[in-house]
Structure 1
């Protein structure tokens, strides 16, 4: 027996039940005639212990869209850099680089979601913001880690002691899902349940920001230590679990995209990962990790500054969709004040904030307001100028994201 996560389609369950099938489910999605839906498929996440026989039975259940073995997730840890310190960090350089400081838009009216280590709700950076919090980690709503507070500050934080930290400081409504505990650890069912929570809101979040990854090495190690599996077998089981979780994430993303026909949709932004080590060798590059590698997710690489222009951070994973400032980023410190951090985790909330600005801009422009339209503008307006000579396009993706300008009015 092992613990598995099941992704169900409520409407498929309901339809099977009405047809006299063996699988029961709620009927709220059926409008009277079979197959006539009032709403898009609604995902349901279940966590159950399954044997091999149970898995075969589950595979024949038409309401189950995907199943995956529960595996650990982890914080994409901020990266120390020898040549960058708190004293050297330039406040708001990232905000200036993405053009948020000159944009007429501030994210007003846009709801955002941050899935991370929680938030310090009492921090002055979040004054005036309605924070709807839910703990999926079992460690409480507080953010003893500080990572989630820093990321949220970059997305929508208010000025702190005269220093601007937020890309979209006009945001006044945020969903905060704590999917990692105070040590930065979690599990895939925590993440999937949080995404289900966000997607099931009556008022949709227009952007979801995630700076975490599936812990493949940690999963393999746990199978060896706790289940006494040989290393080769543990690696094989962990690899299959990783693949299953990627397929489940793809299935969940597909359901979120289908909801766009009814509520406009949501743009999902995730950190590319910090596993590359270009300071050791230019060829020491690791590709984007899951969940950023899932279909439809806007993966984000990290940029730093140099005398010759923007550079890809040595730790930033290659093949991101876009890139954003991620070195020496000053934002909110849990417990009060400010601190600077480095990582694709710091680049991701820049893109989430810019996405909120684009939602606001398109809402005022008369353009059809959908996640696809926002995503298209986000990618089309990314710039490739200002990079240091020799920057590999595979490392920076479409380029540096940009805020909507006054021309959108």
Structure 2
């Protein structure tokens, strides 16, 4: 018996009426029976212990849209911690690089979400921001780890001690889902429940920022140490669990995209990961990890400053969609004050903040306001100038994201 996650459609009877991602039902009109469009029913997520027979029965249930074995998730930890010295960090260099300091937009009226280790709600960086919080990790709302607080500070933090840390300083409404415990560990059902919670609200967040990954090695190790699986079997089971969780993530993303026809949608931004080691060998590159590599997610690589221009951080995983500053990033420290960290985790909130600026810019421009339109602008305006010679296209993606300029106002 093992624990499984089920993505279930509460209104399975309507599945046969699904056409193009919407649901139609007969209503009485002045000219007889008419068809009315309804939003797709919100999914529900259940977690159960299933035997092999239970699993077979569940796979035949038409109301279950996706099924996955629960697997561990983990924080995409800042890398390398010992090189991120506060005294070497250049304040607000990331904000300047993405053009947020000169943009006429501040993301006022845009709701954002951070799925991470929680947030220090009492930090001065979040004064005046309404924080809607939920704990999916079982370790309490407060952020004893500090990672989520740092990421949130980069997205929408107010100035701290005279230092600007936030890209989208006009945000006054944020949704914080604690999906990783204070040790930086979690499980996939925590993430899926949080995504369902964020996207299913009456006023959904317009951008979701997440800097975490599915822990395939940790899953295999747990099967060996806790379940006495042989290594080969543990690897096989973990690989199948990884695939199932990727399919479930894709199913959730598909449902979020279908909601866009009714509420404008939500853009998901995720860290590509920190497993590459280019300082050891230029060929020591690891591709973007899941969930960043999932369909419909804007994955983010990390950039640093070099003598010849912007450089791809040696730890940054390759094949991101876009890139952003991720080395020596100063943001909020849980408990008060500021700290400097490195990582694609630090690059991701820069992109989330810029995405929030584009939501505001498009809202004021009269362009149809959807997640697809925002993503298109985000990618089209990314720049490839300013990079050090020889920078690999596969390492930087579409380029460095840019905030909307005064030309958009």
Q: Place the TM-score, normalised by the shorter chain, in its bin.
A: over 0.9
The offset of 1:82, in angstroms, is 6.1
The offset of 1:38, in angstroms, is 2.0
The offset of 1:35, in angstroms, is 9.4
The offset of 1:14, in angstroms, is 4.3
Equivalent residue runs for 1:199-210 within 5 Å? 199-210=199-210
Distance 1:340 1:405, change over 3 A: same
Distance 1:359 1:70 in 2: 34
Provide the residue aligned with 1:176 in structure 2: 176
Distance 1:17 1:251, change over 3 A: closer
Distance 2:187 2:83 in 1: 34
Structure 1 stretches lacking a partner, 5+ long: 19-28
Distance 1:30 1:393 in 2: 45
Residue 256 of structure 1 contacts residue 265 of structure 1 at CA under 8 Å; is this kept in 2?
A: yes
Distance 1:243 1:229 in 2: 19
Distance 1:81 1:127 in 2: 28
Residue 330 of structure 1 contacts residue 338 of structure 1 at CA under 8 Å; is this kept in 2?
A: yes
- Structure with the higher fraction of residues in strand conformation: 2
Residue 15 of structure 1 contacts residue 35 of structure 1 at CA under 8 Å; is this kept in 2?
A: no
| Equivalent residue pairs, number | 398
Residue 84 of structure 2 contacts residue 341 of structure 2 at CA under 8 Å; is this kept in 1?
A: no
Provide the residue aligned with 2:258 in structure 1: 258
Q: Mean alpha-carbon deviation: is it higher for 210-219 or for 54-63?
A: 54-63
Provide the residue aligned with 1:299 in structure 2: 299
Residue 81 of structure 2 contacts residue 341 of structure 2 at CA under 8 Å; is this kept in 1?
A: no
Distance 1:175 1:50, change over 3 A: same
Distance 1:205 1:380 in 2: 23
Equivalent residue runs for 1:10-21 within 5 Å? 10-11=10-11, 13-15=12-14
Distance 1:35 1:252, change over 3 A: farther
Provide the residue aligned with 2:334 in structure 1: 334
1:314 and 2:314 correspond? yes
Provide the residue aligned with 1:395 in structure 2: 395
Equivalent residue runs for 1:18-167 within 5 Å? 38-80=38-80, 84-167=84-167
Distance 1:16 1:276, change over 3 A: closer
Distance 1:35 1:278, change over 3 A: farther
Distance 1:31 1:144 in 2: 49
The offset of 1:192, in angstroms, is 0.1
The offset of 1:65, in angstroms, is 1.0
Equivalent residue runs for 1:227-266 within 5 Å? 227-266=227-266
Distance 1:35 1:63 in 2: 24
Residue 5 of structure 1 contacts residue 47 of structure 1 at CA under 8 Å; is this kept in 2?
A: yes
Distance 1:148 1:32 in 2: 46
Residue 277 of structure 1 contacts residue 314 of structure 1 at CA under 8 Å; is this kept in 2?
A: yes
Q: Tell me the alpha carbon deviations over residues 227-273 of structure 1, each in whole angstroms, 9 at most, x when there is no partner.
A: 10000000000000000000100010000000000000000000000
- Look up the SS of the partner of 1:330 in the other structure: strand
The offset of 1:50, in angstroms, is 1.1
Distance 1:203 1:352 in 2: 18
Residue 303 of structure 2 contacts residue 327 of structure 2 at CA under 8 Å; is this kept in 1?
A: yes
TM-score (norm 1): 0.95
Distance 1:369 1:83 in 2: 41
Residue 322 of structure 1 contacts residue 397 of structure 1 at CA under 8 Å; is this kept in 2?
A: yes
TM-score (norm 2): 0.95
Provide the residue aligned with 1:280 in structure 2: 280
